[in-house]
Structure 1
């Protein structure tokens, strides 16, 4: 990347906290400043301690939502929205660095599926908090926690940490109807100018067409920003190709402006990172995406590789 008229080999590391760290690829030293910021403290139990600070990359955009508020809680009905608000008030939440402690359940935002997902510096990311609590071994044994089946969003509500003094119990912050308590959009895509650190554009990714309560498709083509799982690929010509969203759509986006230029329906959700190549035989450029679905997002599995190219 260009820095002060010098080209430096850089390593760009996105995190589940939604931050982007830019390091010198040869030395590991920060190219964009890294600052230690104060972190909330809490009760971890005997023999445990918390770091008073955490590293932060403050000169680049952070891909996480605004600090959660009780009034932000979401629901398909007034009843499940009320339950989300009650759960919010019964949880500890002091921003994105809130630690998990023995005192009470905590909200973790960005959650385990949130933060930056794959693509950078065009990044698709999620706003999807977790709600979790830390249990002593005695409490965990009393609940008879089970191993995750790997299919439930964010793992399972039961996650035993075998042969350790503690267990984490929790999962995605959802209403009784299985709808996220945090308001949409939940999946977004954005672009950053690394030289200036400026956010070029950001927009929701995915429509409500193939999602809805109880996994019933709403058939509404409204852009709501669905949960996303999968990366983006950017071409030298300035196109961003991305699947990832739950509406089974593959999109081409203008990297400079974020404007959608083209889309096509996939047989299943493109929960993968596309690739592009030029055929040595025909000289044509192809873009290929695996449309495999993802059970942990309640998406049925598929076995298709789908390729696209311009007309001859």
Structure 2
């Protein structure tokens, strides 16, 4: 039969289509809208600029409502029945692998597209407990390392299998206590925030105790290959060093703290690391450290290769309020009066934003030195003025008076009467023997989650506005000498500041109560916690064994005594404080007028606020017709070029996506536990993901160990 060439050509196309159809179907099944190239989340808070920003647009304001759980990873270590755990980690993503830290404080690596575990450490060094906010990645193209702080030890891990790199330091680790000792100091030091890297320089800040026995807060830089110390920046200067005259003579021997626990930002092009610092210890009394106390409470620009100071600015003089800079700086570019300027900014617990020229340190907006009250505590010389930015506009209210008491507070009249007898009404009122109000509270305002900045130089900052009260009381050390000190006195000195004078903890569960603690733990278990710390509680290595046992006796209903209140030679001060006491009504709500938690957008080109919305809600109040009040919150946001801002952070265990232009909530979902962490945004195999650590464990919320990633279907 003669073949019809035209028919053959007509049949050939369908036959070829059938041959490639399986491949087309496979592509359709795995395809996502507008497939994007693989995009990493290279460092803690997104990159060296710490802006929490992703250029990805696959998930946007139009399709964000379609987000679904892509995978979940149970990292391990959470015990919701007995031991409260937390996860504050902002995971990094490098070449399709996500690196994070578990609820049990172990580093891990998982496939970023599936959540499948690749490796997890099993470190068990005899060191201090801690809550880690993440890890740092370094590679020279030949090998890759993960830097992970496990208590007081900084490890270099092989990125491929998680095993320690034996040639780094001693057996793969550095002991961070070495080099920051001083006479009379305790042993407590951890690195809770990931270090920064500039070329082959690893720059490390630490968390030390906040008592009079704190170690020095020096910032150190190490060689990423060998672990060799390269440079040290002393935050409490020695004789002949810049800033020494802002302290009393030889304070570097008898005062600690002024440490950089919150993380740093690095200008990789200029080779400058921007280092924020906290207050000197003890936080609430400075009669033993008269002066402005450089470099406590400073933003310091340092040559990343040499450690040389380039410039600095002190955000609080002679801090006696624990007003640490709470988060890493942000590096970005603004347009002011038609001129582009590279800037660095820091947010504050007080609700201020300080903005500086990145090279010169000159303030971009006016900052005025304004007078504040003197202290009435003998020996204390509070600074006469404090620096107050005129712009950008504050993102929190600055005072709490009887006019600011919540209208639906359950015991409003009692609150007002108490407030009338308290020291309140302005920022920077020195603590006295009577109740003194912090507003915003002692941990913000802004907290360690920090601010996000988009490509248009809009800054987004979560904050809280919960009144906190405290006061100063005599320390048993100052009057006891060699006399016996009771277990109750020792408890008031070492424990009451956090767990409350009545042992009931604080009202929102951020810090647990200790009533009945001896029925939940053995004496040995309590001694272990005192020795190693747990979560955000530091170790109390400065307390003698006899004192620890006296405290345990007091907690169990006895009141034994100890012959001395501290190890011989340890630093002491005349006062202690009565705790970080969040003020709630009898129904458990903050006594101030809402909002209690906020998300604010500020145009950093002008310093003007664009919008502010509540962050979080109490469903039972919303059901009564009360507009969302916002809640206490911990953690930051991630902002994307897709027009979105992702944030968990709130007490209500929700994960939300906001329209970054308006502050409107476009999507939200319930998490398995509260996400007191910052989300990460990345893309693998053409698909964009957003992931959040769901650790809970604060604010009376349950603990968890899951990382949950979301993507479009």
TM-score (norm 2): 0.39
- Classify the secondary structure of the residue corresponding to 1:41: coil
| Matches of 2:347 and 2:389, distance apart in 1 | 10
- Classify the secondary structure of the residue corresponding to 2:666: strand
What residue in structure 2 maps to residue 168 of structure 1? Answer: 577
What residue in structure 1 maps to residue 368 of structure 2? Answer: 35
User: Structure 1 residues 300, 222: CA separation in 2 closer, same or farther (over 3 Å shift)?
Assistant: farther
What residue in structure 1 maps to residue 557 of structure 2? Answer: none
| Matches of 1:96 and 1:77, distance apart in 2 | 23
1:98-151 C-alpha deviation (Å, 9 max, x unpaired): 22124x221111111321132242011101111111122259978621424697
Whether 1:45 and 2:406 are equivalent positions in the alignment is no
- Classify the secondary structure of the residue corresponding to 1:115: coil
| Matches of 1:31 and 1:245, distance apart in 2 | 32
| Matches of 2:632 and 2:361, distance apart in 1 | 33
What residue in structure 1 maps to residue 605 of structure 2? Answer: 195
Query: Once the 2 structures are TM-superposed, how far is the Cα of residue 76 of structure 1 from its aligned partner?
Result: 6.6
Larger relative CO (CA 8 A, sep 6+): 1 or 2? Answer: 2
What residue in structure 2 maps to residue 127 of structure 1? Answer: 465
| Matches of 1:99 and 1:17, distance apart in 2 | 14
1:263 equivalent among 661, 668, 673: 668
2:387 equivalent among 32, 55, 64: 55
| Matches of 1:156 and 1:54, distance apart in 2 | 34
What residue in structure 2 maps to residue 16 of structure 1? Answer: 349
2:636 equivalent among 213, 218, 231: 231
Structure 1 gaps, min length 5: none
What residue in structure 2 maps to residue 303 of structure 1? Answer: 705
What residue in structure 1 maps to residue 405 of structure 2? Answer: 73
1:168-196 C-alpha deviation (Å, 9 max, x unpaired): 11311233454322232200101000001
- Classify the secondary structure of the residue corresponding to 1:100: coil
What residue in structure 1 maps to residue 439 of structure 2? Answer: 109
| Matches of 1:71 and 1:181, distance apart in 2 | 11
1:100 equivalent among 422, 431, 435: 431
TM-score (norm 1): 0.85
The answer on whether the counterparts of 2:398 and 2:440 sit within 8 Å (CA) in structure 1 is no
| Matches of 1:51 and 1:177, distance apart in 2 | 38
| Matches of 2:469 and 2:512, distance apart in 1 | 12
Query: Once the 2 structures are TM-superposed, how far is the Cα of residue 294 of structure 1 from its aligned partner?
Result: 2.9
What residue in structure 1 maps to residue 617 of structure 2? Answer: 207
The answer on whether the counterparts of 1:208 and 1:220 sit within 8 Å (CA) in structure 2 is no
Higher helix share: 2
1:12-34 C-alpha deviation (Å, 9 max, x unpaired): 10001110001222333212222
Whether 1:246 and 2:651 are equivalent positions in the alignment is yes
User: Structure 1 residues 165, 75: CA separation in 2 closer, same or farther (over 3 Å shift)?
Assistant: farther
Q: RMSD over aligned Cα, in angstroms?
A: 3.1
- Classify the secondary structure of the residue corresponding to 1:9: strand
1:59-87 C-alpha deviation (Å, 9 max, x unpaired): 11112225322243248764x32332222
| Matches of 1:119 and 1:294, distance apart in 2 | 23
- Classify the secondary structure of the residue corresponding to 1:251: strand
| Matches of 2:593 and 2:390, distance apart in 1 | 26
Structure 2 gaps, min length 5: 1-332, 453-458, 480-484, 515-536, 543-570
| Matches of 1:219 and 1:73, distance apart in 2 | 19
Whether 1:285 and 2:688 are equivalent positions in the alignment is yes
User: Structure 1 residues 157, 8: CA separation in 2 closer, same or farther (over 3 Å shift)?
Assistant: farther
Larger of the two Rg values belongs to structure: 2
User: Structure 1 residues 169, 302: CA separation in 2 closer, same or farther (over 3 Å shift)?
Assistant: same
Q: How many residues align?
A: 300
| Matches of 1:272 and 1:67, distance apart in 2 | 28
- Classify the secondary structure of the residue corresponding to 2:578: strand
